[in-house]
Structure 1
Amino acid sequence: MIGYTMVGTRDLKRAKDFYNPLFDTMGLSPCYENEQVASWGDRDDETVPRFFSCYPYDENPANVGNGAMTTFRVQTASLVDDLYEQAIQCGGREEGQPGFRPERYGDKFYVAYVRDPDGNKLAFACYDGRSNP
């Protein structure tokens, strides 16, 4: 259903420094880059949704919408933990430490929330964190 997701940045180099290690950990690679935009995904499979960080094309400053979030689904709870720690080390900001959220999402959903350096909200989620620690 999703072709690609795009978030704005005010500093493309900073965005690449933040996202490159995260996508590398997820097994995804840079796909396209120029002075305006960088993207990650699977270069060999265009059916894999891509993620872009870019300067807005209307040339106005990037801003963050309240309620907007991109969630990256991963296979294990330990990968959620690793990605969360990496995001914080790469300049991200904590928005919800890794853990189960049974009161909202059931007893298997394991998730962590961060903001990238531009304030875009991200989540790393394992839908069956009890079976895949």
Structure 2
Amino acid sequence: MFSHIMVGGNDLERSKKFYDAVLGTLGAGPAMVDGHRIFYITPTGIFSVSQPIDGAPATYGNGATIGFACATSEQADAWHAAGVANGGTTCEDPPGVREGGMGKMYLAYLRDPDGNKLCALHRMG
């Protein structure tokens, strides 16, 4: 359904450090830098951070969350720990199991250094 997801960032070096660590736990290699943008290219899609082309500061979306699929709850925990260790902040409830209409899931939430809300999700079958 999606070809790529792009979020805004104000400091590409800071964003690259954060996302290299976080997405590295999911098997993604370091970002490719292209001027005012960085790209993580995987077989299932592209994630990118861009300095806004209009020159205004990047801001996060209120109510927006970007979810990353994890193979295990341990991978979600590693993702969360890498994020906190590299400038992210934890948000929502602590990482753990949630049950609801979508079934049993293990979720971990972070905000990146620019405030974008992220989630690591492992569907527990």
The reply to whether TM is greater than 0.5 is yes
SS at match of 2:27: coil
Give, as a single letter, the amino acid of the residue that structure 2 aligns with 1:101: R
Aligned equivalent of 1:112: 108
Aligned equivalent of 2:59: 63
Unaligned runs of 5+ in 2: none
1:1-133 aligned at under 5 Å gives the runs: 1-30=1-30, 32-42=32-42, 45=43, 48-96=44-92, 97-103=94-100, 105-106=102-103, 108-128=104-124
Q: After TM superposition, where is structure 1 displaced by more than 4 Å over at least 4 residues in a row?
A: none
Change (3 A) 1:35 1:92: same
- TM-superposed CA distance for 1:59, in Å, is 1.4
Asked if structure 1 preserves the Cα contact closer than 8 Å seen for 2:39 and 2:49, the reply is yes
Question: Which structure has greater strand proportion?
Answer: 2
TM-score (norm 2): 0.91
The number of aligned residues is 124
Asked if structure 2 preserves the Cα contact closer than 8 Å seen for 1:30 and 1:38, the reply is no
SS at match of 1:101: strand
Please give the alpha-carbon distance, in whole angstroms, between the structure 2 residues aligned to 1:104 and 1:83. 25
TM-score (norm 1): 0.86
Instruction: Tell me the C-alpha RMSD between the 2 structures.
Output: 1.5
SS at match of 1:21: helix
- TM-superposed CA distance for 1:41, in Å, is 2.3
Give, as a single letter, the amino acid of the residue that structure 2 aligns with 1:91: G
- TM-superposed CA distance for 1:65, in Å, is 1.3
Give, as a single letter, the amino acid of the residue that structure 1 aligns with 2:15: A
